[in-house]
Amino acid sequence: MPYREFRLPSLYGGEDVEVVENLLRQIPGVEQVELEPETKEVSLRWNDATDWEEIERQLVSMGYTPEV
């Protein structure tokens, strides 16, 4: 199962955390989301139903550009 850790520097406050967690969990194939608000770090696992390019595209479309 693919796995990636990345930072979201534009993540601010609890509302952003909730938005990002909900966005990632709605992407078909995303199986696990762990988000650490204090460090803005995200750990993500997904299956073959999606890929990193799609996940990254979804994040960027919402204004959250990941730093890998």
pLDDT tens digits for 2-44? 999 999 999 988 899 999 999 999 999 999 999 999 999 999 9
Predicted pLDDT at 29: 98
For residue 45, pLDDT beyond 90 = yes
Residue 40 lies in domain: 3-61
Q: Between helices 13-26 and 52-61, what is the axis angle to 10°?
A: 140
Quote the pLDDT of residue 13: 85
- Alpha-helical regions (H) of 1-68: 13-26, 52-61
Residue 21, in any domain of the structure: yes
CATH code assigned at 50 = 3.30.70.100
For residue 67, tell me if it sits in a domain. Answer: no
Q: What is the pTM of this model?
A: 0.93
Number of folded domains that form the chain: 1
